[in-house]
Structure 1
C-alpha cells in the first residue's frame, strides 16, 4: 500500500483548482525557481543537477509558448520573448554560463511581477 506525499497532493489540488491566470503566474514563478536552482548548481560545479534544472526551466517556457492565445495581439510579442528565453537557456546549458541564466531570470521576474500586478488589478476591479 503506497502512501501519497501530502505536499504533492496539495500541489496537485492547487493546480487543478486555480484559474488560468493563476496558473500562468505559477509557471513564471516555477521558471524563476528552476533558473535559480540551475544557476546555484552550476556555481557549485554540479553540472548534472544544473542541466536537470535548466531542462525544467526550458519545459516551462515551452508550456508558456503553447498556452498563448493567438487572438490577443500581445501573444506574438510574448512568443518571440519566450523563444529568445528558451534559446538563451539552451545556450547557458551548453556553455555552462551563469550570466546567461541571470539574464533569463531577469525576464522571468519581470514577467511574474507584471502578471501578478495584472491579476491584482483585475481582482480589485471586481
Structure 2
C-alpha cells in the first residue's frame, strides 16, 4: 500500500503544480495511454475494459473541447477535429473497431507532438525560463 500512496501523492503534486500548458500535455498523454489500452483490450477480447478505456479517452477529448477558447480562430479549426475524434471513439466502442482507435491515436499523437513543440518554444522565449 505504501508505494502506491507515494506514487499517488507524486501524481497529485505534479498536477497541482503544473502550468496550463503542462496540464494539456498530460491530457494528451493520458488519452494516448487509454487508446493504446483499448486497442490491446480489443485484441484480447476484453470488452469491458475496452469500454472503460475508450470512455476515459472520450472524457479527455471532451475536456480538451471545453478548454478551447471559442473567440480564437485556431480553436474554431480544432473543435471539429476533436468532435470527429470523439465520434470515432464512439464508433470504435460500439463496433469493437481497432482501426478507428488507431486512427484517433494518430491524431492525438500528432496533437501531442505539436503541443510539446509549442511548450518548448514558449519556454525558450519566456523571460522566466525554468521558473514556475
* TM value normalised by structure 2: 0.90
* Distance (whole Å) between structure 2 residues aligned to residue 86 and residue 64 of structure 1: 11
Displacement of 1:71 in angstroms is: 2.4
SS of residue in 2 equivalent to 1:5: helix
Partner of 1:124: 124
The residue number in structure 2 matching 1:63 is: 63
- Report deviation, 1:125: 1.5
Pair 1:75 & 2:41 matched: no
Moved more, 54-63 or 64-73: 64-73
2:70 aligned counterpart, secondary structure: coil
Paired position in structure 2 for 1:102: 102
Partner of residue 129, structure 2 = none
Cα-Cα RMSD: 1.4
2:66 paired with 1:53: no
In structure 2, the gaps of 5 or more residues are 127-132
Once the two structures are superposed, residues 39-84 of structure 1 have per-residue CA deviations (whole angstroms, 9 ceiling, x without a partner) of 0011111110111100000000000011112222111111111100
The separation in 2 between residues aligned to 1:21 and 1:69, in whole angstroms, is: 14
CA distance in 1, matches of 2:14, 2:71: 28
